[in-house]
Amino acid sequence: MDHMDFREIGKLISEDRLSLEYLWKRRGNTVCPSCSFSEFYFHQRWRVRCKGCKRDYWPLQGTRFSLLRISPLQWLALIKLFELSASARKASQEVHLNYKTSLRSYDILRRILVEELARNDEVLKGELEADEAYFGGKRKGNRGRGAGGKTIVYGILERGGKVSVNIVQDVSAESLMTKTVKRVRRGSIVYTDKWRGYDSLMFCGY
């Protein structure tokens, strides 16, 4: 794609103020940590001020978005590009960030997504698919399983239903079975590839 069309988010990324207000309203728990007052106003670029004690805050403080010091406008643009499955390199060009920052932002968004999905503790059942995905790390050397410096995300998809995703340290049978047993009802049919880490499924009631 030669040019990314941002019409879907319109005015939200037309200026920092609107982007900031959008993210602020959706972060939840917007109470002043100093005086517990719940009303704020936008004081200056990228800052809000408590109407009670008059303290200023970075609106995204305490969230994963604060791990990168980029503008709310850039964050919303990156979220949209991430949703459209644009590569981190493409995102760096569209949002005018260096590649390392763009890559880091994508890692943060993946972790936020994993955390949101992990909050759903509903048990999966029926016919399911299980697999892992590898993100980040250097491209030199091994790819996929065995590659160093990568974040491993383990996903279980209920066909026609919900999905469970978790970050795991490795793809050993112990790690994969621990996550599976917690989320999948015994007796369910689980489709996987031939990775030996899944061999224990049949001995765990699947």
Q: Identify whether residues 97 and 157 lie together within a single domain.
A: no
Q: Identify whether residues 93 and 175 lie together within a single domain.
A: no
DSSP 184: B
Which of 117, 136, 164 represents a domain boundary (last residue)? 117
Mind listing the pLDDT tens digit for each residue in 151-204? 888 889 998 888 888 888 888 888 888 888 888 999 999 999 988 888 888 888
pTM score of the predicted model = 0.53
Cα–Cα dist 146/178, whole Å: 20
One-letter identity of residue 187: G
- The answer as to whether 122 is a domain residue is no
Q: Identify whether residues 48 and 104 lie together within a single domain.
A: yes
Q: What is the pLDDT of residue 119?
A: 65
Q: What is the pLDDT of residue 146?
A: 55
Helix, coil or strand: residue 150: coil
Mind listing the pLDDT tens digit for each residue in 126-137? 999 999 888 765
Which of 96, 117, 138 represents a domain boundary (last residue)? 117
- The answer as to whether 145 is a domain residue is yes
Q: Identify whether residues 78 and 166 lie together within a single domain.
A: no
Distance of CA 162 to the CA centre of its chain: 17
Relative orientation angle of helices 16-27 and 72-83, to the nearest 10 degrees: 70
Domain count, the chain: 2
Strand pairing partners for 40?
A: 50
Which range marks the domain in which residue 164 is found? Answer: 127-204
Q: What is the CA radius of gyration of the chain?
A: 21
Q: What is the pLDDT of residue 40?
A: 75
Joined tokens for residue 135: 């993100």
Cα–Cα dist 154/168, whole Å: 7
Mind listing the pLDDT tens digit for each residue in 48-106? 788 888 888 777 777 787 788 887 778 888 888 887 778 889 999 988 899 999 999 99
Cα–Cα dist 166/110, whole Å: 10
- Nearest residue to 74 (alpha-carbon basis) of 62, 60, 61, 85: 60
- The answer as to whether 2 is a domain residue is no
- The answer as to whether 113 is a domain residue is yes
